[in-house]
Structure 1
Amino acid sequence: MTAPTIGVLALQGDVREHVHALTSVGAAAVPVRRRSELDAVDALVIPGGESTTIDKLLRAFELFAPLQDRLRAGMPAYGSCAGMILLADRVLGGIEGQRTLGGVDVTVRRNAFGRQVDSFETDLTIDGVDDGPMHAVFIRAPWVEEVGPAAKIVGRVESGPAAGRIVAVRQGPLLVTSFHPEVTGDTRVHRLFVQIVSESQG
């Protein structure tokens, strides 16, 4: 089977790290800044950064509507941190006029960990990720306040002040996490996403 071509939205955030992680697990990974580049990929990673800034840049680069259309048509996507916010249907703590691409039936609280528990690291068990817990890094991260019936919780914080908080959700070909797997060298979330992309291609 041909390796899927997975774009990494290259407007802000850990673009190089995501490209490296995807490449290391067998995907053809490319940065995406233009409509033509978006049209050429099978799936997309939306990295961390600042969700309101990425929203504005998506509009400035005339990518917001085309990307939303691709998502609604079933394109797989993975969003980490700010990417989780952008793929959420509902956001708490957003600024006036902030929009999301939507697609995942969740309510996300923006900067939840950053303001309330500070940035931190912990070990998590993620459904679909084999070989034991993974080390997760949270940087001014959101968390999921509510999950609708269409979405499935696949990871929660297991200990500490934030124990029980939802930090990973999947809905069909869409995957979101509060944490940044691209910074730890553990590529299992990226491997899971490549598997999701391959499954979507039949």
Structure 2
Amino acid sequence: MLVIRLLRPVARAVDWTPLAAAGVLVVLLVSLIGTGSALDPEISLMLLRMAGVLLGTAAGFAVVDAMDASTAAAPAPRGLRHRIRCALGGLTAAAFWAVACAVAVARLPQGGTFPVPGAAVEAAACVAAGLLAASVAGRVHQGKAAALAGTGGLLGVVAVSLALRGPYRPWIYPDEDTWGVVHRGWLAALALLLLALDLTGRGPRRTR
């Protein structure tokens, strides 16, 4: 199967340094902040939200494909390479986030609870948004410039969303009545981001 044959060469072509650095950083933050004491659930949620955004920006580097800049015949379709890169970057980011989440849950005070499903959907949407931003930037930019442009785009969207107010703002807390409704919105956003991510990988790269 072509996908299986491409996994190793595509994985070797990915620049793993930003994602590995971000992953280690988020795990260390959750592990070391307030060492020796229980971790407040609200602080845990804040840290894991930061982790989702940071991993999303780093995951964008996984979609940078040097072959996009070439006019020579590629050994595999651009769309297939794009999907493999997104899968590798997204799953690696998810693994780091899951480790950080496990550490945070283990450090909760006795009787403390953490909204793992809701926080996981938020993180998944952030990672998908990071991959999409870098993919869109990669249509017109080459190399790491695309990933950096994507990082700027994702951080801009996050900054705007943090400024929103009201009961249906994206970054609410579990004790608020609209938590369920807002996170159904996160799920819908995640589905749209994944669809857009797949569509972005199709067709030839644009050149300036």
> Shorter-chain TM-score category?
under 0.3
Larger radius of gyration: 2
Compute the TM-score of the two structures, normalised by the length of structure 2.
0.26
Name the structure where strand makes up a greater proportion of residues.
Answer: 1
Name the structure where helix makes up a greater proportion of residues.
Answer: 2
| Larger RCO of the pair (alpha carbons < 8 Å, separation 6+) | 2
